[in-house]
A and B are shown apart, each in its own frame.
Chain A
Amino acid sequence: MSFTLYDYALSGNCYKIRLFANILNIDYERIAVEFYPGADHRSEKMLAISPAGTLPILTTDDIVLSETSAMLFWIARNYDAPDHWWPEQDLTAQANILQWMGFSSDLTATIGQGRLHALFQTPIDKDKMIKGGRAALRKIEAHLSEQSFDGCSFLTGNKPTIADIACFPYVALSPDVGANIGFDHDDYPAIRNWIYAMKSLDGFIPMPGIYAMHELKDHEIDYGSQKSAKAGASK
């Protein structure tokens, strides 16, 4: 059984679901909804599907979800994701995952809102957003540094979980909010290492603002052979 995702390409929250589904190689139906300028997610037609009036929306015949954390959990369980994404038998791991899933809403409320303002001039309290976003980035940077002392590359261990998927987009997108407000990744080496680890996952896909790791592909150009091939071709 598959699901339908009401989706918006520029949304970091929608991207969480696209990314996780792609990593797990799930086939699903994607319906694009015009968030801006049409605000179609608040149209009567969409509110009839999900009264929350937000994107993404995940639906099946039995379920309508409007919270990305619930979607990630549902996908992990429903599609038999490898155990590390939601460790079935490990209560401590589950509690830690829920902790960071909760933190992911702080990221949406700060960096996510700041990015909406940068893209569409939505009104925000800029000072509050900057302070909150900076505090969130510092919190995750400190935690990831501590994880590295334990030899772990991800938020709750040495393998990624749905918590990493939930926190990844708005941390990775933070430089898009603006320059010189402490949102660039230059000041956060542990975040840079984590982003690299996330981008290295099999099935990683990009979104606008989060590019793929070209350097992982074997693009090495042998300048010598390139020139001799050129010389051969001109003959």
Chain B
Amino acid sequence: MASIAVALSKDLPNGRVMRAIVSEQDLVVWRSKSGILSAWENRCPHRGMRLSHGFVRGEALACMYHGWHYDKSATCRYIPAHPELEPPETIRAQEFSSIEKGGLIWVSVDGSLEEPLIDENLTPLRSINFQCASKTVQEVITKSTKLAGDTDPFNFTTKAAGYHHWVLFSEKKELNLHLFFHELPNNACKIHALIDKDCPAQIQKQISRMMESWRRSAETDYEVSAK
């Protein structure tokens, strides 16, 4: 399994923490004050608390429960209840490979972090959550691009449709829309969407609303087929 895009870089500024799930693996993804990115198992080795509830303290991530600090090597460096103690090196969070490219944060949970082949100059749009499988969303997108007529402001055509990465092209706007599918447990998924150039906020809003429309169709389809 390759690297999976888990978030837009812009949605994890310096000093912030988030939770992500890749292939059922619960992750804490965080960025230190100076901007160093890490992805670890979402579990404090001390009491099992989700580290995604924690706080960034400079270059360390502090667990919300008892404040244990872990530095960028995932090693525990400080235990507030025992300030004199130098924690043993064996107290570590489990690390996964992560990388940042093309405005996206990529994580691999199987140790094989392939450098993603992606255009470096993309403009982030938004990440949107779907309560249905990515396959269902992809069917809806295919259907809606086929149905879109000349009056559609974009009239997108599907330029590439990989397993995780789709590119829709609008000849009208000379615009590529990149969709990165991120599958989640329980038949849910996210799309991390980017465009290939700066475009007016109005067009970004139109694309954002188009994705909401996909979601309305996709989730209904899902409910119907599940019955």
Which A residues are within 8 Å of any B CB, using their own CB? 142, 145-146, 148-150, 180, 182, 184, 186-190, 192-193, 196, 213-216, 219-221, 223, 226-227, 230
Contacts and interface: CB of A to CB of B under 8 A. Distances in A.
A52 B20 CA distance: 44
A186 B77 contact: no
Contacts of B180: none
B129 interface: yes
B84 A230 contact: yes
A220 B204 contact: no
A196 B208 CA distance: 22
A146 B205 contact: yes
A189 B57 contact: no
5 contacts: A146-B208, A149-B204, A192-B18, A220-B57, A223-B71
B60 A221 contact: yes
Interface residues of B, number: 37
B11 A215 contact: no
B214 to A, nearest CB: 13
A87 B52 CA distance: 37
B86 A215 contact: no
A31 to B, nearest CB: 32
Contacts of A186: 18-20, 52
A142 B58 contact: no
A189 B77 contact: no
A220 to B, nearest CB: 3
B168 interface: no
Contacts of B86: 227
Given A149-B204, A150-B201, A189-B8, A220 B127 contact: no
Contacts, number: 66
Q: Which of A180, A214, A216 has the most CB of B within 10 A?
A: A214
A47 B209 CA distance: 46
A121 B197 CA distance: 51
Contacts of B186: 180
Contacts of A150: 201
B55 interface: yes
B178 interface: no
A220 B56 CA distance: 9
B57 A219 contact: yes
B33 interface: yes
Contacts of B100: none
Given A142-B209, A214-B55, 16 more contacts: A142-B212, A145-B208, A146-B205, A148-B126, A149-B208, A186-B20, A188-B129, A189-B7, A189-B8, A190-B126, A214-B57, A215-B15, A215-B16, A219-B57, A223-B77, A227-B86
Interface string B178-215: 00000000100010000000000100110011001000
B95 interface: no
A167 to B, nearest CB: 19
Contacts of A220: 33, 57-59
Q: Which of A148, A192, A215, A223 has the most CB of B within 10 A?
A: A215
Contacts of A149: 201, 204-205, 208
A189 B11 contact: yes
A219 B58 contact: yes
B131 interface: yes
A130 B84 CA distance: 48
B96 to A, nearest CB: 17
A187 to B, nearest CB: 4
B208 A142 contact: yes
A226 B18 CA distance: 29
A213 B186 CA distance: 31
B137 interface: no
A149 B124 CA distance: 10
A216 to B, nearest CB: 8
Nearest to B61: A215
Contact of A221 (B15, B78, B205): B78
